[in-house]
Amino acid sequence: MALDYERLLNWPFDEVTQSYTPRDTMLYALGLGFGFNPTAADELRFVYEKGLQAFPTMPVVLGHPGSWMTNPDTGIDFLKVLHGEQHLDIHAPLPAEGTIVARNRVAEIIDKGEGRGALIHVERKIYEQASGDHLSTQTAVIFARNNGGFGGPVTRSARPHALPERSPDAAVDIPVATQAALLYRLSGDYNPLHADPAVAEKAGFPAPILHGLASYGIAARAVLQALQIADVARLRSFGLRFSAPVFPGETIRIEVWQDGDEVSFRARVDARDAVVLNNGRAVIAPA
């Protein structure tokens, strides 16, 4: 079945209500490598119940609509999809525990043409159930490699955020623990690609790879560290493109450029001379 533009734009997502505990908040942070230095107070606040804080990118693991893309009625060739981009706008800090309500929708579908795939923009808005406060808005851009040329409106995707041409203003290295993917998957993404060597081999990888959203959170952690920003609530927006997989046990180097409130960044694995995250843009509120 070919992708049906109107049907997909009006896909009937159920509202998602999800409760999470301090344990979930700590587990998410451990999956990003917090606690690597157990005496560092700036890391301990995300992994210890005393004065616990939720790291700002945690909304990306809340309110997921489930495996809706595997439904044949979508027309999506699920075996040919990739997570291309992730963007998060933070309107209010996520409490360390609570219950959220998530509303998902397909916001846009870009037909790149026959043989070139399609870009499916899936938006998720998260609200605190008790207060009704709008906490965050996120958009995942899914690259459906086998769904181009479906006859949708001719549109163009936005140009990727351009990195400055000067040398980075700062850089920081983050070691990824060998068990990072096994920890991160406990936050809800149980895809065996991140745990089972046999599945990874079938997918063409020499070993299980790290979740893209884990490297996304690690990058946010690194950007704040590189700019010496202790108040993580100042992070208001964070977006990037996924360009290559990260393997547990590698070291990620995040290069950062700051221009006022706007921060540009990318991430490399120097050992493989690979750019793994690219065209990154963050917005940091003034102190």
Distance CA 171, CA 149 (A): 41
5-144 and 170-284 share one fold: yes
Fold annotation for 5-144: Thiol Ester Dehydrase; Chain A (3.10.129)
Worst-scoring range by mean pLDDT, 25-34, 108-117, 175-184?
108-117
Partners of residue 159 on adjacent β-strands = none
Stronger pLDDT, 249 or 155, i.e. the higher one: 249
Q: What is the pLDDT of residue 159?
A: 86
Distance CA 141, CA 86 (A): 6
Distance CA 274, CA 56 (A): 27
Q: What average pLDDT does the segment 1-12 reach? A: 87
Mean predicted lDDT score pLDDT of the chain: 94
Is the pLDDT reported for residue 214 higher than 90?
yes
Q: What average pLDDT does the segment 193-213 reach? A: 94
Distance CA 106, CA 120 (A): 7
Angle formed by the axes of helices 22-31 and 212-226, to 10°?
Answer: 80
- Its pTM surpasses 0.75: yes
Q: What is the pLDDT of residue 114?
A: 84
Distance CA 178, CA 67 (A): 28
Return the active site residues.
Answer: 189, 194
The candidate with the shortest Cα–Cα distance to 202, out of 79, 52, 51, 97, is: 79
Q: What average pLDDT does the segment 63-92 reach? A: 92
Worst-scoring range by mean pLDDT, 88-92, 112-116, 167-171, 178-182?
112-116
Partners of residue 253 on adjacent β-strands = 173, 268
Q: What tens digit of pLDDT does each residue of 29-68 get?
A: 999 999 988 888 889 999 999 999 999 999 999 999 999 9
In total, the chain counts a number of residues equal to: 287
Question: Which pLDDT band holds residue 1 (cuts at 50, 70, 90)?
Answer: low
CATH class, domain 170-284, is alpha beta
Is the pLDDT reported for residue 269 higher than 60?
yes
Domains in the chain: boundaries = 5-144, 170-284
Q: What tens digit of pLDDT does each residue of 110-162 get?
A: 988 888 888 999 999 999 999 999 999 999 999 988 888 888 766 667 789 99
Q: What is the pLDDT of residue 4?
A: 84
